[in-house]
Amino acid sequence: MDLQINNKVVLVTGGANGIGAAIVRLAAEEGAIPVIVDRDIEATETLQASLRNMGRKTCAIALDLSSPDNCAKAVRETLGLCGRLDALVNNAGGNDRVGLEQGSPSEFVASLERNLLHCYNMAHYALPALKQSRGAIVNIGSKTAFTGQTGTSGYVSAKGALHALTREWAADLLEYGIRVNAVVPAEVLTTGYQRWLNTFPDPEGKMQSILNRIPLGRRMTTPDEIAAMVVFLISGRAGHITGQQVFVDGGYVHLDRALIHQERT
């Protein structure tokens, strides 16, 4: 299937590692020009070099998006390097475990800054270019905003707001032909996730307890599976899809919990 994204410029925040890197790689494989925006300079340069060695077009901007000025700079440098912008993927962020008891008011605000505010800033500064290209925005959400998790008020608040903004922006940008959707992961095995598992006394046991709660295949979602949905949603093949929250989670959120206990035959 031709996804109709050849030479489209796709800016991916947090694009050097994990889900972001998978999105970058797949976009490049499909002929797009991914722009890696990430504060991890080494990982950014390594991924860019790897893609270029494979003959893929890509650009890289090593930048921390914690300030509005840097978000504006990321968009400005993308336009300077590539001349246009066709899609924005708001992926940067991470579960920082700022909870109601364990955190503080200032830590809560900092969590929102790390996981939410840059998404608004990036969309705000990217909007003029996206209007010109009649482009697309994909926000990477989280199942925690729908299920709760405990001990992570900041991250859950940020992702809940991002899901709300997905619908708001989709409505707001209809007249410009800009589509806005969210992809909602649950349990995705990245290096960061593995580091979290390793904090438990029995990482393998913890992993098994998680796998037992995933109905489809009793396995983790892969970063590549998240990337596949993201790249589809920014593509011309998804031309009439907007305002949606697409769960790529093996049925984790919506399937009956009783399925967890059923024997496989």
* Span 41-99, pLDDT tens digits: 999 999 999 999 999 999 999 999 999 999 999 999 999 999 999 999 999 998 888 99
pLDDT reading at 259 higher than 80: no
Whether 123 and 14 share a structural domain = yes
Domain extent for 206 = 189-220
Name the amino acid, one letter, at 127. Answer: L
Structural domain includes residue 210: yes
Count CA atoms within 13 Å of residue 92 on its CB side.
29
Whether 114 and 197 share a structural domain = no
* 8 A C-beta contact, residue 187 and residue 252: yes
Whether 176 and 200 share a structural domain = no
Whether 33 and 163 share a structural domain = yes
What Rg, from alpha-carbon coordinates, does the chain have?
Answer: 18
The pLDDT of residue 189 is 87
Structural domain includes residue 108: yes
Of the listed ranges 17-31, 175-189, 248-262, the least confidently predicted one is: 248-262
Q: Among the residues of the chain, which ranges form H helices?
A: 18-29, 41-53, 68-82, 105-112, 118-133, 144-147, 153-172, 191-197, 203-211, 223-234
Q: Whole-model pTM above 0.85?
A: yes
Which of 245, 262, 244, 192 has the alpha carbon at shortest distance from 220?
192
Whether 147 and 207 share a structural domain = no
Average pLDDT over residues 154-170: 97
Structural domain includes residue 110: yes
Residues taking part in catalysis: 155
Whether 158 and 198 share a structural domain = no
Average pLDDT over residues 188-205: 87
Q: Quote the mean pLDDT of the chain.
A: 94
* Cα–Cα separations (whole angstroms), residue 37 to 22, 78, 246: 13, 9, 24
The pLDDT of residue 19 is 97
The pLDDT of residue 265 is 40
Whether 69 and 138 share a structural domain = yes
Helices (H) and strands (E) in the chain, counts: 10, 7
Average pLDDT over residues 19-24: 98
| Cβ partners under 8 Å of residue 62, min gap 6 | 38, 39, 40, 41, 44, 45
Structural domain includes residue 256: no
Whether 139 and 210 share a structural domain = no
> Sign of torsion, CA 251 253 259 264?
positive
Whether 177 and 150 share a structural domain = yes
Whether 210 and 85 share a structural domain = no
Whether 166 and 197 share a structural domain = no
Phi/psi of residue 109, each to 5°?
-60, -40
d(CA 165, CA 181): 10
Bridge partner list, 75: none
Dihedral, 31, 35, 36, 39 alpha carbons, nearest 10:
180
| Number of structural domains the chain divides into | 2
Q: Which two tokens stand for residue 80?
A: 């300077």
